[in-house]
């Protein structure tokens, strides 16, 4: 899916560079990475372990400042090199959603409360937050389990709740780090299809770091990361056959 | 949404046991305060109960509650002659420890100035005041002597005719009221053999001097009763209690009595202050130090527990930071848990104390102001205890949640 020309991209990253250590211990994790994800677009990020995927993801999540480069989210410049141009935590709260390999649900909150808390930290009144959280769980097909603690949910249900939490504040960008790694192939595919649904129906940019080559057809584009450099491939089938 | 309550609910068992431990510690802190209050109450109970305006004690002493005070019993008559004095009573008070029905029995023997004072002022819960000059006593219930029971003290047998509740001396031993002559008989009782030896010794001393040989009648006197020998001291009392006439100038009476070099005069308040400054003050400091130590220990325990609870949910805290939760939300979670633990511990301490403290051998008096001050202390130590956990939580990096 292409970006709407009037809407700024979900995220623009230009000439991103991240260096760990100094002198002899210097490791370049990201080399001059530039990418753009439009709203309503779902993009996959592939690459071997240690290639820099997670570093790029955490830099985009505003929790790991880059050494150089700029990050703009929803048209708002947020990072200029290591310097944050916004209150990173407040910005994450309003504009970003996260999904991880493990669902990372808060164990002492029910499914509903795990979604509700994301709304409440964004100053949504509890009653309204509860209503919206229920709607999201319904949208993702887990509303019957709304009052269950995470322990009582299956892996797939937990991941759906985590996606609902990521969607809670209508973020412009959702960052997912290997969200299907802990799921079987059938559930993994269902979750990936959910991400695609979210991107297309809720008009959010979605970046998914994955190793699962069986779901590449779901992505609009593939970012291939190797040694901290990004290559963009438009046709997932090409990537699949190349590996 | 209150995260603290939900976390506590999720870890209810651990929280309950930990809070019970904190509660028991706080109960000891509360109990020590209560013991101190009880000490003061019991120490001043007698001084308050007898209701004297002035206490006349042995010269240059601080009275019977601080040290030994001995006065001739007839000082009562001298004091009574001072203008403004309505009533003067001999005060005899001493602690005895005897065996009764195979058990040790400690009591504070209190003399009543019979026949003026029959013990009508004594707050009885059963029985009656004294009705005869000898062989009757009023006993506190803490002595476990029922009405009608007879007890041998010295050479005489006394019947319990009245009972009080909670009337104890500064040592916590129950008070027993006798006529003053009975109280003195109990105090100065010596075995018959000791008396015979004393008389033989007197006779030997008289025979050893010229006067003994010149006056044979002295030998008969030496073998007789004490009261038949003018050279021996008259019976002694601990103090003389002075009650003033209505409208009498206490300072004026005191000025007159102060000119007598063989006595010292104190007001009731001064006598209480001397009592508290002596025995109770050291106990107060001792208990105060223990309370301080226990409060510090409680703080450390709460801090470690809260810190451990924080470590247990460090990923959840990192997640909250990642999704943008403010520091106030995260700090509030930890602070509220610490306060909840402190508050529940305080409640447990109070609740258990209600049932436990009455079974303590000494009176434990929990005053409302002590409860309030301990409540404030609990809030302060809970807040302090949460600081370590809050510090840890605020230093967690949001990307901790990404670690598999």
Whole-number Å distance between alpha carbons of A98 and A104: 10
Whole-number Å distance between alpha carbons of B335 and B310: 11
The shortest CB-CB distance from B404 to any of A101, A108, A122 is to: A101
DSSP, res B248: -
CB-CB under 8 Å, B6 with A100: no
The shortest CB-CB distance from A58 to any of B7, B329, B402 is to: B402
Whole-number Å distance between alpha carbons of A198 and A176: 12
CB-CB under 8 Å, B319 with A109: no
The answer to whether residues B99 and B164 touch, using CB atoms and an 8 Å cutoff, is no
Residue-level pLDDT at B231: 61
What is the biggest distance separating any 2 CA atoms in chain B, rounded to whole angstroms?
Answer: 116
Whole-number Å distance between alpha carbons of B332 and B315: 17
The answer to whether residues A211 and A51 touch, using CB atoms and an 8 Å cutoff, is no
Using a CB–CB cut-off of 8 Å, the residues of B that contact A are 1, 3, 6-7, 9-11, 313, 315-316, 319-326, 329, 397-399, 401-402, 404
Q: Are strands B236-237 and B150-153 parallel, antiparallel or unpaired?
A: unpaired
Q: Which two tokens stand for residue A123?
A: 């100053």
From chain B, pick out residues whose CB is under 8 angstroms from the CB of A89.
Answer: 321, 324-326, 398
pLDDT in tens, B306-353: 888 888 888 889 989 888 888 899 999 999 999 999 999 999 999 999
Whole-number Å distance between alpha carbons of A106 and B229: 95
Residue-level pLDDT at A224: 86
B81 or B193: which leads in pLDDT: B81
In this structure, the number of other CB atoms found within 10 A of the CB of residue B327 comes to 12
CB-CB under 8 Å, B323 with A165: yes
Residue-level pLDDT at B371: 92
Q: Are strands A42-46 and A221-226 parallel, antiparallel or unpaired?
A: parallel
| Residue A159 belongs to some domain of the structure | yes
The CA-atom distances, in angstroms, between B55 and each of B46, B71, B87 are 13, 12, 12
CB-CB under 8 Å, A117 with B3: yes
Whole-number Å distance between alpha carbons of B18 and B11: 11
The answer, for A90 touching chain B at a CB cutoff of 8 Å, is yes
The CA-atom distances, in angstroms, between A170 and each of A38, A87, A97, A167, B25 are 15, 19, 8, 5, 49
The answer, for A94 touching chain B at a CB cutoff of 8 Å, is yes
Cβ-Cβ pairs closer than 8 A, A with B, add up to 73
Query: Can you point out the beta strands (E) in chain A?
Result: 11-20, 27-37, 42-46, 68-73, 76-80, 83-84, 96-99, 173-177, 205-209, 221-226, 229-233
**Is the pLDDT assigned to residue B363 strictly greater than 90?**
no
The answer to whether residues B172 and B360 touch, using CB atoms and an 8 Å cutoff, is no
From chain B, pick out residues whose CB is under 8 angstroms from the CB of A109.
Answer: 1, 3, 6
Residue-level pLDDT at A2: 44
Min Cα separation B302/chain A (Å)? 21
Q: Which two tokens stand for residue B8?
A: 């506590």
Tell me the helix, strand and coil percentages in chain A, rounded to 5: 40, 25, 35
**Is the pLDDT assigned to residue B393 strictly greater than 60?**
yes
Which secondary-structure segment (H or E) carries B179? strand B174-179
Q: Which two tokens stand for residue B82?
A: 């001072």
Whole-number Å distance between alpha carbons of A194 and A183: 14
Mutate to test the interface with A, among B3, B9, B319 (most CBs of A within 10 A): B319
Question: What pLDDT tens digit does each residue of chain A (243 aa) get?
Answer: 444 457 888 899 999 888 888 878 888 888 888 888 988 899 988 888 888 888 888 888 888 889 999 999 988 899 898 898 988 888 888 888 888 888 889 999 999 999 999 999 888 899 999 999 998 888 888 889 899 999 999 888 888 898 888 888 888 898 988 887 777 777 778 878 888 888 888 888 999 988 877 788 888 888 888 887 888 777 555 454 444
Angle, nearest 10°, between helix axes B327-356 and B281-312? 140
| Residue A1 belongs to some domain of the structure | no
Whole-number Å distance between alpha carbons of A41 and A196: 8
| Residue A137 belongs to some domain of the structure | yes
Minimal CA–CA distance to B101: which of B145, B161, B167?
B145
Q: How many domains, in total, are found in chain A?
A: 1
The answer, for A55 touching chain B at a CB cutoff of 8 Å, is no
Query: Can you point out the beta strands (E) in B50-118?
Result: 54-58, 71-72, 85-91, 93-100, 103-112
The shortest CB-CB distance from B323 to any of A98, A129, A177 is to: A98
From chain B, pick out residues whose CB is under 8 angstroms from the CB of A91.
Answer: 324
Whole-number Å distance between alpha carbons of B37 and B48: 15
Residue-level pLDDT at A3: 45
Which string of DSSP letters, residue by residue, matches B103-160?
A: EEEEEEEEEE-TTT--STTS-EEEE----SSSSEEEEEGGG---TT-EEEETTEEEEE
User: Which residues 155-214 of A are in CB contact (within 8 Å) with B?
Assistant: 165, 177
Residue-level pLDDT at B354: 92
| Domain of residue A113, CATH code | 3.40.50.300
User: What contacts B352, CB < 8 A, 6 or more positions away?
Assistant: B23, B24, B27
From chain A, pick out residues whose CB is under 8 angstroms from the CB of B329.
Answer: 121
Minimal CA–CA distance to A112: which of A79, A75, A84, A140?
A140
Whole-number Å distance between alpha carbons of A236 and A48: 17
Tell me which chain A residue has its CA closest to the CA of residue B328.
A121
From chain B, pick out residues whose CB is under 8 angstroms from the CB of A133.
Answer: none
Minimal CA–CA distance to B238: which of B40, B99, B50, B98?
B50
- Average pLDDT for chain B: 86
Whole-number Å distance between alpha carbons of B379 and B377: 5
pLDDT band at B150 (very low <50, low <70, confident <90, very high): very high
CB-CB under 8 Å, A92 with B322: yes
Whole-number Å distance between alpha carbons of A205 and A189: 19
| Residue A2 belongs to some domain of the structure | no
Whole-number Å distance between alpha carbons of A136 and A200: 16
- The three-point CA angle A158-A160-A165 to 5° equals 95
Residue-level pLDDT at B379: 92
DSSP, res B233: P
Domain residue ranges in chain B: 3-44+280-402, 49-196+224-276
SS3 B357: helix
- Give CA torsion, residues A77, A81, A87, A91, to 10 deg: 50
Residue A160's domain comprises: 11-242
As to burial, measured by CB atoms within 10 angstroms (0-12 exposed, 13-18 middle, 19+ buried), residue A83 is exposed
As to burial, measured by CB atoms within 10 angstroms (0-12 exposed, 13-18 middle, 19+ buried), residue A123 is exposed
Min Cα separation A217/chain B (Å)? 26
The most confident of B115-124, B185-194, B368-377, by mean pLDDT:
B368-377
From chain B, pick out residues whose CB is under 8 angstroms from the CB of A148.
Answer: none
Residue-level pLDDT at B135: 94
Residue-level pLDDT at A235: 56
Which string of DSSP letters, residue by residue, matches B296-322?
A: HHHHHHHHHHHHHHHHHTHHHHHHHHH
Residue-level pLDDT at A183: 73
From chain A, pick out residues whose CB is under 8 angstroms from the CB of B7.
Answer: 108
Residue-level pLDDT at B64: 79
Residue-level pLDDT at B172: 81
């Amino acid at each position: 899916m292409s970006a709407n020309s009037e809407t700024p991209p979900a995220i623009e990253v230009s000439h991103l560079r991240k260096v760990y250590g100094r002198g002899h211990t210097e490791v370049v994790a990201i080399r001059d990475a530039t990418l753009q994800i439009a709203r309503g677009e779902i993009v996959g990020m592939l690459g071997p372990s240690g290639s820099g995927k997670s570093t790029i993801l955490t830099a985009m999540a505003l929790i790991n400042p880059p050494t150089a480069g700029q990050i703009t989210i929803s048209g708002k410049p947020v990072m200029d090199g290591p310097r944050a141009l916004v209150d990173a935590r407040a910005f994450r709260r309003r504009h970003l959603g996260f999904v991880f390999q493990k669902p990372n649900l808060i164990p002492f909150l029910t499914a509903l409360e795990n979604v509700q808390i994301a709304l409440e930290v964004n100053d949504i009144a509890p009653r309204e937050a509860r209503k919206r959280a229920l709607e999201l769980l319904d949208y993702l097909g887990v509303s019957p389990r709304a009052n269950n603690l995470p322990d009582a949910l299956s892996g797939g249900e937990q991941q759906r709740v985590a996606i609902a939490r990521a969607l809670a504040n209508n973020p412009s960008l959702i960052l997912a780090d290997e969200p299907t790694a802990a799921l079987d192939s059938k559930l993994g595919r269902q979750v990936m299809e959910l991400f695609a649904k979210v991107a297309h129906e809720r008009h959010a940019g979605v970046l998914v770091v994955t190793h699962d080559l069986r779901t590449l057809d779901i992505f609009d584009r593939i970012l291939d990361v190797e040694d901290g450099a990004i290559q963009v491939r438009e046709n997932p089938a090409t990537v699949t056959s190349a590996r | 949404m209150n995260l603290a309550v939900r976390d506590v609910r999720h870890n209810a068992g651990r929280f309950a046991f930990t809070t019970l431990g904190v509660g028991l510690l706080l109960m000891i802190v509360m109990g020590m305060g209560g013991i101190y209050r009880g000490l003061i109450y019991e120490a001043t109970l007698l001084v308050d109960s007898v209701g004297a305006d002035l206490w006349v004690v042995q010269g240059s002493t601080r009275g019977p509650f601080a040290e030994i005070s001995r006065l001739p019993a007839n000082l009562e008559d001298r004091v009574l002659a001072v203008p403004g004095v309505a009533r003067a009573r001999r005060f005899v008070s001493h602690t005895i420890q005897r065996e009764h029905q195979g058990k040790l029995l400690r009591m504070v023997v209190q003399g009543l100035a019979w026949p003026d004072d029959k013990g009508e002022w004594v707050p009885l819960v059963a029985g009656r005041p004294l009705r005869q000059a000898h062989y009757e006593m009023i006993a506190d219930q803490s002595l476990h002597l029922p009405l009608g029971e007879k007890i041998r003290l010295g050479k005489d047998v006394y019947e319990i005719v009245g009972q009080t509740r909670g009337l104890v001396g500064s040592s916590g031993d129950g008070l027993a009221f006798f006529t003053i002559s009975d109280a003195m008989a109990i105090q100065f009782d010596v075995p018959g053999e000791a008396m015979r030896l004393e008389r033989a010794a007197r006779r030997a001393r008289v025979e050893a001097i010229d006067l003994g040989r010149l006056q044979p009648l002295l030998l008969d006197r030496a073998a007789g009763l004490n009261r038949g020998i003018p050279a021996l001291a008259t019976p002694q009392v601990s103090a003389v209690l002075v009650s003033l006439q209505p409208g009498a100038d206490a300072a004026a009476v005191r000025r007159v009595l102060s000119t007598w070099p063989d006595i010292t005069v104190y007001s009731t308040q001064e006598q209480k202050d001397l009592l508290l400054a002596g025995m109770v003050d050291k106990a107060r400091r001792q208990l105060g130090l223990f309370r301080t130590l226990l409060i510090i220990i409680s703080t450390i325990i709460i801090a470690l527990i809260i810190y451990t609870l924080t470590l247990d949910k460090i990923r959840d805290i990192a997640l909250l930071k990642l999704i943008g939760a403010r520091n106030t939300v995260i700090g509030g979670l930890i602070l509220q848990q610490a306060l909840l633990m402190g508050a529940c511990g305080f409640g447990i301490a109070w609740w258990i104390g209600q049932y436990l403290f009455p079974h303590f051998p000494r009176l434990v008096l929990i005053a409302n102001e002590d409860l309030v001050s301990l409540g404030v202390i609990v809030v302060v130590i809970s807040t302090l205890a949460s600081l370590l956990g809050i510090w840890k939580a605020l230093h967690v990096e949001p990307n901790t949640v990404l670690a598999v």
